[in-house]
Amino acid sequence: MTPPPALRRLLATARTTRFRVERAAAGRGGGALPAPVHLSLRDSRTLNVALAPDPAAGDVTRARLLITRGPRRHAVPLTLEAHPHGRPLLTATATLRDAGDEGRAGVPLSDGVWRLTVETRGSRGRVRRHGIGIEGNPAPPPTPTVPHAPDPRTGLLVRIVRTRGGRAVLQATRSLPRAELVRFVPRGDGITVHGRLVAAAGVPAGGRAVRRRDGVVVPVEVAWRDTEFTLRVPLGAMAQAGPGQWVWDFHVGGLPLGRWLSDVRDPAASCPTPFRVFALPGGGLTRAHAHFTSSGAFAVTCLDITDVTDPTQEPAKETS
């Protein structure tokens, strides 16, 4: 069941405050913060790190990257790679996952701030630990993808964040309930949408199409299989709801329907789709455009053109 907007705002404020406190705590102590040669995170799932060993540590016989939050600790082995034309590097690639997604391997991260610590052991058994330092976050150059993308499976968003003291930490934010569109299939007689619920609880409910300009609602039948759903866009009912061309948005189980868990910056520009003509079961014709908006929402623009193709009828005027 989706919480009301006032409760969602209260929970979001509480979480923001908690993250601020956890970042402050994670940035305290730890001595010098050497900058990494490379530190990146892809799709909230793959963490890549490479850094030069601390010269003060001497010969390093073993190293690992510790990912900790409170009493929870996960260790990722660091490999010492020799380079003929430069200093050796400690490198690691770690797979991250949502702590609630138990069906997948990887370091489980729950909602919160996770501290990154490099631990090395020398040839004489001495153990040293230090954090990883990063510079301020400059504005990234514009690209077709966003710099921080959620896990496409669970919606968990993990970002590399700089604390006030300059230390690199991981901030994991669980997904809000979402109706995620997997694909839509336009055919000659209509449009079928396949999707799934993400981070949603409760009994799945039906759907509705909402006319954007005036809020007119058309019910949408939804077929469920666990958290996966299939729906048929009710083009006939939408076109007959009033004369003119209108844009319709969709909700499933009370949640807006769209492609939300993506790294695409502008889905409307990256996934252009054409207008098509659909022959409805009752004999009518509809010109419709199924598309994504720039925010990732799924929408359909439709116009009844039955009278336009019937020479015995006067054509209806379009209303944009």
Between residues 64 and 213, which one has the greater pLDDT?
64
Is 138 a residue whose pLDDT tops 70? Answer: no
Mean pLDDT of the chain: 87
pLDDT at 5: 66
Grade residue 320 by pLDDT with cuts at 50, 70 and 90.
very low
Over residues 36-57, the mean pLDDT reads: 89
Report the share of the chain in percent with pLDDT over 70: 87
| Separation in Å, CA 92 to CA 65, 107, 111, 157 | 8, 13, 23, 21
Over residues 11-37, the mean pLDDT reads: 72
pLDDT at 301: 96
Q: What angle do CA 58, 63, 66 make, to 5 degrees?
A: 130
Helix, strand, or coil (residue 90):
strand
Is 319 a residue whose pLDDT tops 50? Answer: no
Q: What global pTM score does this model have?
A: 0.81
pLDDT tens-place string over residues 164-202 = 889 999 999 999 999 999 999 999 899 999 999 999 877
Q: Would you give the distance in Å from CA 283 to the centre of its chain?
A: 41
Strand 38-42 versus strand 46-51 pairing type: antiparallel
Secondary structure of 23-43 in the HEC alphabet?
HHHHCCCCCCCCCCCEEEEEC
Instruction: Tell me the C-alpha distance between 74 and 94, whole Å.
Output: 11
User: Do the Cβ atoms of 80 and 88 come closer than 8 Å?
Assistant: yes
User: Do the Cβ atoms of 52 and 36 come closer than 8 Å?
Assistant: no
Over residues 227-244, the mean pLDDT reads: 93
Instruction: Tell me the C-alpha distance between 274 and 288, whole Å.
Output: 9
Q: Which residue has the tokens 């019937």?
A: 310
Is 210 a residue whose pLDDT tops 90? Answer: yes
Is 299 a residue whose pLDDT tops 80? Answer: yes
Q: Which residue has the tokens 């060993």?
A: 53
pLDDT at 137: 61
Q: DSSP label at 75?
A: E
Helix, strand, or coil (residue 56):
helix
pLDDT at 285: 93
Over residues 17-40, the mean pLDDT reads: 75
pLDDT tens-place string over residues 66-121 = 999 999 999 999 999 887 777 889 999 999 999 999 888 999 999 999 999 999 99
Helix, strand, or coil (residue 114):
strand
Is 55 a residue whose pLDDT tops 90? Answer: no
User: Do the Cβ atoms of 292 and 259 come closer than 8 Å?
Assistant: yes
DSSP labels, 167-232: BEEEEEEPPPPEEEEEEEEEETTEEEEEEEEES--S----EEEEETTT--EEEE-EEEETTEEEEE
Over residues 260-285, the mean pLDDT reads: 92
Residue 300 CB neighbours (<10 A)? 23
